[in-house]
Amino acid sequence: MDQSDIQHEGTLAALRDVVQKRQVCFDSFRERVGFQHAGSRSIGYELILSGIHSPGSQPPLPGCDSCKDVYEDLKKIAQWILPKDHRPSFYEIEPYRPIIRATRKRKLREEVTLSIRILHRDHYEDPIDTCETRCLVEMENRLMQIWACAGEWTPLATRGIRRD
């Protein structure tokens, strides 16, 4: 195993630890824009990462230091999943906002979220194209590689993943 393989494995292990600690889930949605006389159109995607305070810690309060720590962990993951090569699409990581969210999908657990928008680099209002779709799929695949859950959080053992 060469040095780059060792670094890659170390990065994967560190990110997997973050995913487990924060119980990271993700969801994706179409980014839509409305036009005055032509209705709305899908122009890209929004990929949302969700994580929680450490189990057993104080209940989340919007903007607390623990929420900021969760956001910073989500941001490390977001930066790792972004495509590194230049493409016709661009990616925008939403800045931190002191908000706690809860969805029925995840049994109303209190979460900190980070949003990544995947849009055209030029011609912002063009419909979704293959580049944006490819970028979303690649990001979701990288999230699954570090054991993040699509939709609802499921423990590793339930998913048949062993931490060896």
- Give pLDDT tens digits for 128-145: 888 999 999 999 999 999
Alpha-carbon span 31 to 45, nearest angstrom: 5
List Cβ neighbours of 81 (8 Å cut-off, separation of 6 or more): 116, 138, 139, 142, 143
Alpha-carbon span 21 to 148, nearest angstrom: 11
Distances (CA, A) of 105 to 50, 102, 146: 12, 9, 21
Strand partners, 47: 28, 116
Alpha-carbon span 50 to 56, nearest angstrom: 18
Q: Where are the alpha helices (DSSP H) in the chain?
A: 3-22, 65-81, 130-145, 156-159
Angle between helices 3-22 and 65-81 (to 10 degrees): 140
Q: What is the pLDDT of residues 101-111, one digit of tens each?
A: 998 989 899 99
**Domain ranges across the chain:** 20-158
With 60 as the cut, is the pLDDT of residue 27 above it? yes
Q: Computed over its alpha carbons, how large is the radius of gyration of the chain? A: 17
pTM tops 0.95: no
- Average pLDDT score, the chain: 88
User: How confident is the model over 67-89, as a mean pLDDT?
Assistant: 95
pLDDT score, position 127:
78
Burial class (CB in 10 A: 0-12, 13-18, 19+), 103: middle
pLDDT score, position 164:
62
Pick the residue with more confidence: 126 or 44? 44
